[in-house]
Amino acid sequence: MLTSFIFDLDGVIVFTDRYHYLGWKQLADEEGWRFDETLNHQLRGVSRMRSLEIILEHNGLRFSEEEKKAFTDRKNGYYQSLLDSIGPDDLYPGAIDFVKQVRARDVRTALGSSSRNAQRVLEALQIDALFEAVVTGHDLTRTKPDPQIFQLCAERLGGVAPAECVVFEDAESGIAAALAAGMHAVGVGDAEQLPNADQVITDYAEIDLDTLIATGRIR
């Protein structure tokens, strides 16, 4: 029986992907780097620094750690400015109602996001109270696919056993992290992009919540 649900943020609760894309695109355009939506897809679920390194590798470029830090700081500044326009239209359809239904069944809820801006997004959308525990990039020393993020979520929920947790993730690195933690993994999005997820949904209405809690299966 599942007692705890853990949610990624980007692409699972809210769509901030386009803001990240626009932030990286602005930096890339200013620096004359090649960057498009296909490359942007490779950045899902990984840290800001690793995202920059993927872009640099794609362009055959190398910089010092100090220079890379300056680039990521610039991108984050662009991203934070873009977040000023975030609103209810950016929420994943049905996600908030689903989390409320989960809470109504006395199931624990946590949010695990590698983004260092996750708390700001939750507060801007006024949904922070839906999650009993929140783990963000500020808390991590290792990023997905390492399971640390979801292990910390379970710890902050009172030491919940991994087998009692289900993780909702939209990136393959996040699915890998959930499975490495010994948790159930539900992919959110394109099944072809999430081949290792236990199950995949595109709509929260596909889930029979009572069945999921009781068996770990969505229906």
Cα separation, 88 vs 95, in Å, equals: 11
Residues 102, 44 within the same domain: no
CATH number at residue 155: 3.40.50.1000
Residues 21, 10 within the same domain: no
Residues 113, 211 within the same domain: yes
36 is catalytic: no
Residues 11, 28 within the same domain: no
Cα separation, 52 vs 109, in Å, equals: 31
Q: Supply the pLDDT for residue 100.
A: 98
Cβ atoms 148, 141 nearer than 8 A: yes
Residues 11, 112 within the same domain: yes
Q: Supply the pLDDT for residue 18.
A: 87
Final residue before a domain boundary, out of 64, 83, 102: 83
What angle is formed at CA 68 by the lines to CA 65 and CA 73, rounded to 5 degrees? 125
Given 8, 90, 170, 198, which residue is catalytic? 8
Q: Supply the pLDDT for residue 93.
A: 97
Given 10, 90, 170, 198, which residue is catalytic? 10
Tens of pLDDT along the chain (219 residues) come to 999 999 999 999 999 888 999 999 999 999 999 999 999 989 887 889 999 999 999 999 999 999 999 999 999 999 999 998 999 999 999 999 999 999 999 999 999 999 889 999 999 999 999 999 999 999 999 989 999 999 999 999 999 999 999 999 999 999 999 999 999 999 999 999 999 999 999 999 999 999 999 999 999
Final residue before a domain boundary, out of 30, 58, 83: 83
Residues 130, 190 within the same domain: yes
Which distant-in-sequence residues (6+ apart) come within 8 Å of 103 by Cβ? 109, 130
Residues 114, 194 within the same domain: yes
Domain span holding position 51: 17-83
Q: How many domains does the chain have?
A: 2
Q: Supply the pLDDT for residue 141.
A: 92
Final residue before a domain boundary, out of 60, 83, 106: 83
Residues 96, 77 within the same domain: no
Backbone dihedral region for residue 115 (phi beyond 0: left; psi -120 to 50: alpha; all else: beta): beta
Residues 61, 135 within the same domain: no
Considering the entire predicted model, what is its pTM? Answer: 0.87
What pLDDT digit, counting tens, does each position of 93-112 carry?
999 999 999 999 999 999 99
Residues 58, 11 within the same domain: no
Cβ atoms 175, 194 nearer than 8 A: yes
Residues 175, 160 within the same domain: yes
What pLDDT digit, counting tens, does each position of 138-155 carry?
999 998 999 999 999 999
Edge-to-edge, what's the strand order for the sheet holding 108-112?
Answer: 133-135, 108-112, 4-7, 165-169, 184-188, 199-201
97 is catalytic: no
